[in-house]
Amino acid sequence: MIVFKTFLKVLNKNKGIILLYTLILLIFAYFNMENGETTTNFYAEKTDIYILLEDENIGLTKNLVDYLKSVSLVKEIKEEKLEDALFYRDVSMIIKIPKNYRIDTLNGINREIEIQSTGDYTASLEKMLLEKYLRIQKIYLNEQLEETKVIEQINETLNKKVTVELTSTLDRSSLSKAKLYFNFSNYAILAGLVFVICLMLTIFKEEKIKKRTLVSSLNYKKYNRILFLSNGLFTIILWLLYVLLGFVLIGKTMLSYHGLFFMINSFIFSMCALSIALLIGNVSQNKEALSGIVNVVALGSSFLCGAFVPMEFLPKSVVKISHVLPSYWFIKNNDLISNLEQISLKEVHPIITNFAILIGFIIIFSIGTNLISKKKLKQS
């Protein structure tokens, strides 16, 4: 009980750091919750654009603007902020309709629409849609039709719709929200847990305290066991806190089998983080170096394994290297779970395999910790 009480005392002293990482997790989760409408139907992706209209908004010009409004998300931005909006991807394309565009086009003069784009895939989609419209307009204009007739024909042609069937009934939006949350928890768990547990260990292993414990009547094995169990209890409490936070932020999805898998995955990972913490705590006894080590471990694994930048955006070489880190398997599992269509052996098998790999990491780290602590005990 003495060991556990001391543990709680030290924990209480360091509640600030746990709150800090929880706060970071909350802020991050909040920013990801912004575009979270529930959907199980197909909807076309729309590009964010800005229309710089220099022509009078009538006739052909108005029809073009209306078309753009129907296929894209037109944003209202101050003109002096346009350059920034493009750079920061607030809009993917700025479409400038020049002065006298309508009159000149009707008179057969070729007036080009001016675009500024980010060159990403949404901009490519917008360009495709714009070119399609302008081509149809040109064809009808070449047929010497009147303006109103041209507009009518364009709209009639563009009115042809195609049926799109969505095979999956998964609520992708909510699942990707959950995936993002648990992916980011990789950082929060690693940073929070490893920092606090290492700090505990360094405090308990301070030269004077360690010597006093060694000569006391307390059985050394029992002391170690209580320390381990206290750390384990702290791990479970922190994991529960993050899961509860998940329930608040993600909601209903957490009650489905997806939620259950997410919880199991994060639990195994928390245990893995505990084993990492115990290993680091045994290797390094330097309190000052601790925050450096923790930051390198937590930030490193989070950046390299896709907790901040999705794995599909990482270079192949980085993904290959990240296979040696437990975070990779945790994040990969989050991805698999978010795509889980049904509970079948075929779909669940890779998830279970990744669980096993994570447990393998726990075993390796635990063996490492034991070997090091044995060596250190002999030395002392």
Partner 1 sequence: MFWHNFKYTLKNLLKNKPLIFWTFAFPLILGNLFFLAFQDIEKKEQLEIFNIAIVEKEKTDHTQILKNAYMTFSEGESELFHIEYVSQEKAEDLLSDKEIIGYVILSENPKVVVSKNGIEETILKTVTESIVEEISLATTIQKEKIIDGLSKPEFDGNIEFLKIQVQKEVEEILKNTTVSLKDNSPTNLSYTMVEFYTLIAMTCLYGGMLTMTSINNNLANMCSTGKRIAVAPTKKRNVIFSSVLASFLVQLLGLALLFIYTIFVLNVDYGNKIFFIFLLSILGSLAGVALGCIIATLLKTNENTKIGILLAVTMSGSFFSGMMGITMKYQIDKNIPIINYLNPANMITDGLYSLYYYQTNTKFYFNVISLLIFSALLIILSIEELRRQKYDSI
For partner 1, the binding residue among 210, 260, 292, 363 (CB under 8 A) is 292
Residue 283 near partner 1 by CB under 8 A: no
CA–CA distance, 294 with 297 (Å, rounded to integer): 5
Nearer to partner 1, 138 or 374 (CB): 138
For partner 1, the binding residue among 10, 53, 82, 299 (CB under 8 A) is 299
Residue 312 near partner 1 by CB under 8 A: yes
Residue 66 near partner 1 by CB under 8 A: no
Nearer to partner 1, 88 or 257 (CB): 88
Residues 116 to 155 in contact with partner 1, rule: CB under 8 A: 116-122, 124-125, 127-132, 134-136, 138-139, 142-143, 153
Residues 339 to 358 in contact with partner 1, rule: CB under 8 A: 341
Nearest Cα to Cα of residue 252 among 342, 335, 171, 337: 171
Residues 200 to 239 in contact with partner 1, rule: CB under 8 A: none
- Answer for the pair 36, 173: CB distance below 8 angstroms, yes or no: yes
Part in contact with partner 1 (CB under 8 A); list of ranges 108-116, 195-203, 235-243, 263-271: 108-116
Part in contact with partner 1 (CB under 8 A); list of ranges 215-223, 268-276, 293-301, 324-332: 293-301
CA dihedral 299, 301, 307, 313 (to 10 degrees): 110
Q: CA 94 from chain center: how many Å? A: 28
Nearest Cα to Cα of residue 54 among 101, 104, 94, 108: 101
Least separation, in Å, of the C-beta of 9 and partner 1? 19
Residue 156 near partner 1 by CB under 8 A: yes
Q: CA 230 from chain center: how many Å? A: 31
Least separation, in Å, of the C-beta of 325 and partner 1? 13
Here the tokens at position 21 are 């990482």
Here the tokens at position 97 are 């309709």
CA–CA distance, 212 with 220 (Å, rounded to integer): 11
Residue 290, helix vs strand vs coil: helix
Here the tokens at position 168 are 């999956």
For partner 1, the binding residue among 33, 73, 318, 348 (CB under 8 A) is 318
Cα–Cα separations (whole angstroms), residue 69 to 63, 73, 111, 129: 10, 6, 21, 12
Classify each residue of 326-336 as buried b or exposed e, where b means 16 or more C-beta atoms within 10 Å of its C-beta: bbbbbbbbbbb
Nearer to partner 1, 119 or 360 (CB): 119
Part in contact with partner 1 (CB under 8 A); list of ranges 82-90, 227-235, 238-246, 248-256: 82-90
Residues 38 to 57 in contact with partner 1, rule: CB under 8 A: 39, 42-45
Residue 300 near partner 1 by CB under 8 A: yes
Q: CA 165 from chain center: how many Å? A: 28
For partner 1, the binding residue among 76, 79, 160, 324 (CB under 8 A) is 160
Pairing of β 72-74 and β 93-97: unpaired
Residue 80 near partner 1 by CB under 8 A: no
For partner 1, the binding residue among 8, 23, 166, 377 (CB under 8 A) is 166
